[in-house]
Amino acid sequence: MTHVAKKAGASPATAPVRPGLLAVLVLLAVLTGCSGTGSIIGGKPRSPQEAIRIIPADRAEDVRADSQVEVTVPDGRLESVRVRRIEDAREEEVRGGIAKDGRSWAPNEGAGRLGLAAKYSVDAVAVDGGGHRSARHTTFTTVVPADRFIGYFKPENRSTVGTGMIVSFEFNRPVTRRAAVERAIRITADPAVAVAGHWFGKDRLDFRPAGYWEPGTEVTVDIGLRDVEGAPEVYGSQRKTVRFTVGREQISRVDAAAHTMEVRQDGRLVSTVPITAGSPTTTTYNGRMVVSEMHDVTRMDGRTVGFGGEYDIKDVPHAIRLTESGTFLHGNYWSDEDVFGSTNVSHGCIGLRDVQGGSGSSPAGWFFDRTLIGDVVEVVNSKDKKVAPDNGLSGWNLTWAQWKAGSALH
């Protein structure tokens, strides 16, 4: 048998290739072509980080609210950019646009600051000058402020209220940037009516129209306080929508001298009720007051409103709050029946005849059952001053011009 010797230095092209080695080479070629960084044909492509540059950096933390989101490419063009804010299990698109030359993306003008305590994601696709397509996904989170403020508001969501309802916010921290906070609360009505805000000090903001609401009005309160800077380094935390409906009109006029209360609904007199108002030494405020709370029964202790131990009644029936300082319209079972309609004996409240435990058929029970939060009670002919506009929801005692003068937006 004759053996043919292989010459040293023979060309690899003439050498046989083992089947196993051929399979490995094919597999490497396939993997390289599907790596997401481009094809091996035409030269080495850039990495996604080189092809698409994104600010803030991927996985950056404590990003300031005034930072800018920027997406750029050194060459080629951007095909698409999507920026999302992920917060409280909700996603919100950050609107923006790609420049005409295709080299950069930026948020739309007026997009505002980044949200605080939020996560953002950025997804971008670009094609470079060599025709290689690259995609990049990054995320970052914004700084969590140390100090937050919230507003406690009236009325409740989905409630039906009287035509005198005033939308009132009490903030848990002093507000020094009042215009920004007032602008972030938007109130609309159907049918439409102008609504203005009025500040009482640094922690209370009320809203009302020029006159009482029309019955049947649907009111929407959009609270956009989240991330609003109410004071230096103090940011709001609320973003929600509240809606309420205005019911029928009920305006009750208490004549302290005549010891009567005329109850009118939609302009029609429905009843004249005998009352007892504040005594000559503890008179009742004059002016327009708005029902802000209603209790079937409550305790009234004179020590809580500056009357020492003069009274402590643990079961006052049918109690309707009119002022923050303690003026109520309530049932009275402890006074003689003949004082109602003839004598003023209270400590400043308005009393209607009732029985212990309350009765729906008593004058107090009858009025309670027909009253809504937001109804108006006006007191006249009392030997006292007019109630302060910030004592409860008493802002109707200001003219429309006076009311608008208290807005931070005028």
Locate 409 and state its tokens.
């937006």
Q: Which position among 132, 318, 347, 349 bears the catalytic label? A: 349
Quote the CA–CA distance of 28 and 25 in Å, as a whole number: 5
Catalytic residue among 34, 330, 347, 410, which? 330
Q: Which residues contact 16 (CB under 8 A, 6 or more apart)?
A: none
Q: Please tell me the distance from the alpha carbon of residue 146 to that of residue 233, in angstroms, as a whole number.
A: 8
Please say if 330 is a catalytic residue. yes
Strands 250-255, 376-380: pairing is: parallel
- The token pair at 199 is 């500040």
Three-state DSSP class for residue 194: coil
Catalytic: 349? yes
DSSP 346: B
Strand order through the sheet with 147-149: 147-149, 234-236, 229-231
Helix (H) or strand (E) holding 405: helix 400-405
Alpha-carbon distance 397 to 226, whole Å? 32
Angle made by CA atoms 158, 224, 216, in degrees to the nearest 5: 30
Q: Which amino acid is at 168?
A: S
Starting at the edge strand found earlier in the chain, the sheet holding 376-380 runs 268-274, 260-265, 250-255, 376-380, 287-290
Tokens representing 288 are 């327009």
Contact 184, 228 (CB under 8 A): yes
Catalytic machinery residues = 330, 349
